[in-house]
A = this chain, B = another copy of it.
Amino acid sequence: MEAQTSTEVAAARIREAILSGELLPGERLHQDRLADMLGISRTPLRAALTTLSQTGLVSYASNRGFYVREFSISEVSGAFAIRAELEAMACRLAATQITGKDSEYLLQLAAEGDRLLQPGALLPENLPAYRQMNVSFHTTIMTLSGNPWITTLVENLQNVPIASDRVIVWRDYDVIKRSHDDHHRIARALSNRQAERAASIMREHITFAHEHLQAQLALNPQDFLRVPVAEKPMKIRSGSLKNRRKTS
C-alpha cells in the first residue's frame, strides 16, 4: 500500500465531493469547517485547495478564500470542442507509430465493450466496467500519440464537471451502440494506419457525445446534478462531507 499524505487524501476527497455534486458550484469552502469535517488541520486542507484551484475545480481570491468553481455552459461546450480536437490529433499521431501489440489492445477493449453490451442494453451493474473501458480506450490512444501534453491537457478538461468522459448517458442503448461502433472503427483505422480517418471518427465521436449530452441535459437536468462517479469511496472518517460540525 502506498503512502498517502493527508493533503493528497483531502484533495481527492474534495475533488470527488465536487464532481459528485456533494459540494455545489459557487459554494464557499470555509477552511475551518472543511478541515473539521475531514478531520485534519487547516494546513494540509489549504494545500489541497491550492492544488484544486490550479486544476480548475476550485476558484480562489486572496483574503477571501476558496469557492467551488462555477462553469458556464460555454465553458463546458468549449471543453468538449478542445477535447475533440486534441483527441483527433492523438489519433493522427498514434496512427503513424502504432504497433501490432497496441492495436491488439485497442481491439481487445472494443471486444470487452461488445461483451458488456451483449444483453442488448447497458445494465446498471455493467456501467462502471463500461465506463472504465471507455476511459482506457481514450487514454490509450492519447498515450500512443507520443505527445504527453495531450493526456495532460485533456485531463485538465475532464475537471469540468459535465464534460468528463466518466459521464455516460447509459439509458439510450442505440446511442451507446453507435458510440461503441465508433470505437471499433477507430481501432481498425488506427491498426491500418489510416490517420485522417481515425481522427475524423474521433472528432465526430466526441462532438456527438457533446451534442447528445446537451440534449439530455435540456430534457433531464436532474440526472446531471449528481453525477455518479464514486468508484472507490475513499472514506475519511465516517459520514458525509457536509453536515458535520465540531463536537467539542
Contact = CB atoms under 8 A, between A and B. Distances in A.
Interface of A: 3-5, 8, 43, 46-47, 50-51, 54-56, 62-63, 74-75, 78-79, 81-82, 85-86, 89, 146-150, 152-153, 156-157
Contact of A148 (B46, B75, B149): B75
Q: Do most interface residues of chain A lie in helix, strand or loop, or is the interface mixed?
A: helix
Contacts of A148: 74-75, 78
A81 to B, nearest CB: 6
A81 B5 contact: no
A92 B148 CA distance: 25
Contact of A8 (B5, B46, B62, B82): B62
B54 A4 contact: no
A95 to B, nearest CB: 15
17 contacts: A5-B63, A8-B62, A43-B43, A46-B47, A50-B50, A54-B55, A75-B149, A78-B149, A79-B149, A82-B86, A82-B153, A85-B86, A85-B89, A149-B157, A152-B156, A153-B153, A153-B156
Nearest to A75: B148
Contacts of A75: 148-149
Given A54-B51, A85-B85, A153-B153, A78 B5 contact: no
Nearest to A150: B82
Nearest to A163: B149
B153 A62 contact: no
Contacts of A63: 3, 5
B146 A74 contact: yes
Closest 3 CB pairs of A and B: A54-B54, A78-B147, A50-B50
A207 to B, nearest CB: 13
Contacts of A156: 152-153, 156
Nearest to A2: B62
Given A4-B62, A5-B62, A8-B62, A147 B82 contact: yes
Nearest to A85: B89
A51 to B, nearest CB: 6
Contacts of A149: 75, 78-79, 81-82, 157
Contacts of A150: 78, 82
